[in-house]
């Protein structure tokens, strides 16, 4: 317990304390500063967009992995986990090699906004898939067959039977992937070029504040990120309790 | 104990039979979805990752060889390995401790602790680094000057890197062990206790063997995460060549210095380790969850 507080709680408290030390006005001025707010806006909007993609693709991938059987499926299975295990800086390099300036497919999005989107997409890939997959495996096929035998079409079955049971898992995965997207740093260093107002994300902004010895500003922006991740955690906890309550 | 287990084993195969899905009806939609998913993963994951391998071996084994011969690189790789091992050891010990605490004991603030454990997963590594600098920074951190007087530098040296790495990998171990502990319950331990086993004996003979797979996954995941940590380490390490530069920091440095071959080679090594880790998990997991 002491170890946990020394490692996690006290440092995080220090961030918040440093941020509010200068008073509310300074805090507000820091995060509404043009470059910072542009960075925060870019990060949050991109993370939302990526989460939306994941909400569609995640269950689809999970569905194929659970219900379909074909040669090479286990390879796909391993591929899902790669973005999670791969060092983020390597992830950035990896994406740069395909979508950077000497791309073999002729797509060059390095230093552009889509690069941020792509990097987020890569690192958040596993979350929704891994949340949905176990639920889908547990799902009782009898209910679906019953629905089908009562004349429900495949779409109706999906919408009325499958989707409701997957919804909490999808929501939890979406929350995680949003949090991960907002906090992503490593993969963007090489890929996005970190141009102010264009491809600079919040984490990079914090780092440049630290390097300029402007610790209060860094702490202020860090507090915003911290608040976002706390909100996500609370949301996750609520989802889990709702699922547990339903049985 | 054997008596209680036998019926389950006998029951298992029919249950498995019943749950096996009936032959899937193949429709155009099935193939379409299969195709979409494969293509998506191919463009997002498989192709980029394989390109790193191709780029590394574009000149044969030269880039790998020059990497191993570069003394700074060797130090960086050793440091990464050293930090990862320490972080795995610390997280294993405390992970088991905290998991036991969370599952077996009721105390006020338990839900809060449980929720807070997820912070390292969702908070930005940069924020983690900043937080550690603020507290343990040598000049004006909360505890830093005190520790520095005691002859112990945390930030810009190895302990800081270990702390940052341990921080970000913290939840992985706990999240693997807690479900297992919850599932096995306390009946066996109570039985052992009634037969006169001491607390330590119960832990070694009953609890530890049943969570050993959970710990194994935890170790593998923590190892992968620790080797790959970049953001938090970047803030706390100071990136001193040959002293506090880890392998991930070296990748960035090399790339920005237009040493693409070196960057790809280092990235390839790191990627190999992490792919090896997940393959290991993928192989041993099914045995545990039949």
Tell me what pLDDT residue A73 has.
76
Within a domain: A137: yes
Domain that holds residue A119: 38-246
Nearest to B115 among A65, A87, A237 (CB): A237
* B83 and A CB contact within 8 Å: no
**For B122, which of A87, A183, A206 is closest by C-beta distance?**
A183
DSSP A5-19: IIIIIHHHHHHHHHH
Of B34, B45, B52, the CB nearest to A64: B34
CATH number reported for the structural domain that contains residue A97 in this entry: 1.10.3720.10
Mean pLDDT of A212-231: 79
- Domain borders along chain B are 11-59, 61-288
Q: Which residue has the higher pLDDT, B223 or B257?
A: B223
pTM here is 0.76
Q: Do B119 and A12 touch (CB under 8 A)?
A: yes
Distance, CA of A205 to chain centre: 18
Q: What are φ and ψ of residue A101, in 5° steps?
A: -70, -25
Nearest CA in chain B to A139: B19
DSSP letters spanning A137-206? HHS-HHHHHHHHHTT--HHHHIIIIIHHHHHHHHHHHHHHHHHHHHH--HHHHHHTTT-TTTT--HHHHH
Task: Give the pLDDT confidence of B117-141 residue by residue, as tens digits.
Answer: 777 777 778 888 888 777 776 666 6
d(CA B237, CA B224): 19
A88, A141, A233 ranked by CB distance to B230: nearest:
A88
| Per-range mean pLDDT, top range of A18-27, A56-65, B199-208 | A56-65
Which of B130, B162, B251 to mutate against chain A (most A CBs within 10 Å)?
A: B130
CA of A234 vs chain B CAs: smallest distance (Å) = 7
* A217 belongs to a structural domain: yes
Q: Is A127 helix (H, G, I), strand (E, B) or coil?
A: helix
Query: Does residue A10 form part of some domain?
Result: no
Contact by Cβ (8 Å): B94, B102: no
Residue that the structure tokens 């390490």 belong to: B237
Identify the closest residue of chain A to B230 by CA–CA distance: A186
Q: How many CB pairs under 8 A join A and B?
A: 235
Task: Note the pLDDT of residue B288.
Answer: 47
Q: What is the 3-state secondary structure (H, E, C) of chain B?
A: CHHHHHHHHHHHHHHHHHHCCCCCCCCHHHHHHHHHHHHHHHHHHHHHHHHHHHHHHHHCCHHHHHHHHCHHHHHHHHHHHHHHHHHHHHHHHHHHHHHHHHHHCCCCCHHHHHHHCCHHHHCCHHHHHHHHHHHHCCCCCCCHHHHHHCCCCCCCCHHHHHHHHHHHHHHHHHHHHHHHHHHHCCHHHHHHHHCCCCHHHHHHHHHHHHHHHHHHHHHHHHHHHHHHCCHHHHHHHCCCCCCCCCHHHHHHHHHHCCCHHHHHHHHHHHHHHHHHHHHHHHHHHHHHCC
A200 CA: distance to closest CA in chain B (Å): 14
Determine, yes or no, domain membership for A5.
Answer: no
Phi-psi label, residue A104: left if phi above 0, alpha if psi -120 to 50, beta otherwise: alpha
With 70 as the cut, is the pLDDT of residue A79 above it? yes
Establish if A60 belongs to a structural domain.
Answer: yes
Number of domains, chain A: 1
* Residues 6 or more apart in contact with residue B139 via CB below 8 angstroms: B145
Q: Which of A193, A222, A177, A90 is nearest to B230 (CA)?
A: A90
* Of A23-27, A142-146, B107-111, B210-214, the least confident: A23-27
Q: Convert the pLDDT of each residue in A10-50 to its tens digit.
A: 777 777 777 777 667 777 777 777 777 888 888 888 888 88
Kindly identify which residue of chain A lies nearest to residue B262, measuring between CA atoms.
Answer: A93
Interface test with A, best of B131, B137, B144 (most A CBs within 10 A): B131
Beta-carbon separation of B51 and A98 below 8 A: yes
pLDDT at A247 over 70: no
Helix B247-256 with B208-228: angle, nearest 10 deg: 20
In CATH, the number for domain B61-288 is 1.10.3720.10
pLDDT at position A89, please?
A: 80
How distant is the Cα of B8 from the closest Cα of chain A, in angstroms?
Answer: 19
d(CA A132, CA B129): 32
pLDDT at B11: 41
Rg of chain B (C-alpha set): 24
CB atoms B234 and A97 under 8 Å = no
Whether A7 maps to a domain, the answer reads no
Residue from B163, B161, B66, B41 nearest A6 by CA: B163
ipTM for the assembly? 0.75
Residue A20 domain-assigned (yes or no): no
B2 Cα to chain A: minimum distance (Å): 28
Per-residue pLDDT at B239: 61
Is residue A179 domain-resident? yes
Tokens of B170: 């913290």
Query: Which range (A134-148, A184-198, A208-222) has the least confidence?
Result: A184-198
Tokens linked to A36: 């910072």
pLDDT at site A109:
66
pLDDT tens digits along A123-166: 888 888 888 888 888 777 777 778 778 877 777 777 777 787 88
Separation of alpha carbons B79 and B25, rounded Å: 53
Give the model's confidence band at B16: pLDDT under 50 very low, under 70 low, under 90 confident, else very high.
Answer: very low
């Amino acid at each position: 317990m002491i170890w946990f507080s020394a490692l996690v709680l006290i440092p995080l408290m220090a961030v918040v304390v440093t941020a509010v030390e200068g008073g509310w006005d300074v805090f507000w001025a820091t995060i509404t500063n043009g470059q910072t707010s542009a960075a925060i806006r870019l990060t949050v909007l991109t993370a939302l967009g990526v989460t939306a993609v994941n909400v569609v693709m995640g269950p689809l991938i999970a569905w194929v992995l659970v219900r379909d059987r074909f040669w090479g499926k286990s390879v796909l299975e391993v591929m899902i986990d790669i973005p999670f295990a791969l060092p983020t800086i390597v992830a950035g390099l990896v994406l740069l090699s395909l979508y950077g300036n000497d791309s073999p497919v002729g797509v060059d999005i390095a230093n552009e906004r889509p690069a941020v989107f792509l990097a987020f997409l890569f690192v958040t890939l596993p979350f929704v898939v891994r949340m949905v997959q176990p639920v889908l495996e547990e799902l009782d096929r009898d209910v679906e067959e019953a629905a089908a035998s009562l004349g429900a079409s495949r779409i109706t079955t999906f919408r009325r039977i499958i989707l409701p049971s997957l919804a909490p898992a999808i929501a939890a995965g979406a929350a995680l992937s949003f949090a991960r997207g907002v906090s992503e740093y490593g993969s963007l260093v090489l890929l996005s070029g970190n141009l102010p107002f264009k491809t600079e994300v919040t984490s990079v902004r914090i780092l440049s504040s630290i390097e300029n010895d402007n610790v209060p500003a860094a702490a202020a922006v860090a507090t915003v990120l911290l608040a976002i991740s706390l909100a996500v955690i609370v949301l996750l906890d609520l989802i889990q309790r709702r699922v547990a309550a339903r049985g | 104990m054997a008596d209680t287990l036998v019926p389950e084993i006998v029951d298992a195969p029919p249950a498995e039979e019943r749950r096996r899905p009936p032959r899937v009806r193949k429709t155009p939609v099935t193939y379409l979805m299969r195709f979409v998913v494969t293509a998506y993963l191919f463009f997002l994951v498989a192709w980029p990752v394989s390109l790193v391998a191709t780029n590394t071996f574009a000149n044969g084994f030269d880039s790998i060889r020059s990497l191993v011969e570069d003394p700074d690189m060797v130090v960086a790789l050793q440091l990464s390995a050293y930090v990862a091992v320490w972080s795995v050891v610390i997280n294993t010990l405390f992970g088991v401790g905290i998991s036991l605490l969370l599952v077996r004991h009721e105390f006020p603030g338990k839900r809060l602790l449980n929720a807070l454990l997820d912070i390292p997963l969702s908070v930005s590594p940069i924020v983690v680094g900043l937080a550690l600098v603020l507290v343990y920074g040598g000049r004006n951190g909360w505890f830093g000057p005190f520790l520095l007087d005691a002859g112990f530098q945390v930030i810009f040296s190895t302990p800081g890197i270990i702390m940052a790495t341990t921080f970000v990998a913290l939840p992985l171990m706990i999240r693997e062990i807690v479900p297992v502990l919850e599932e096995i319950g306390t009946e066996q331990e109570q039985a052992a206790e009634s037969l006169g086993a001491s607390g330590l004996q119960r832990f070694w003979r009953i609890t530890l063997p049943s969570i050993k797979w959970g710990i194994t996954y935890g170790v593998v995941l923590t190892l992968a995460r620790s080797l790959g940590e970049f953001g938090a380490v970047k803030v706390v390490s100071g990136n001193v060549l040959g002293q506090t530069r880890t392998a991930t920091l070296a990748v960035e440095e090399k790339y920005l210095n237009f040493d693409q071959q070196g960057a790809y080679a280092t990235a390839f090594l790191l990627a190999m380790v992490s792919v090896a880790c997940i393959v290991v998990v993928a192989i041993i997991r099914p045995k545990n969850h039949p």
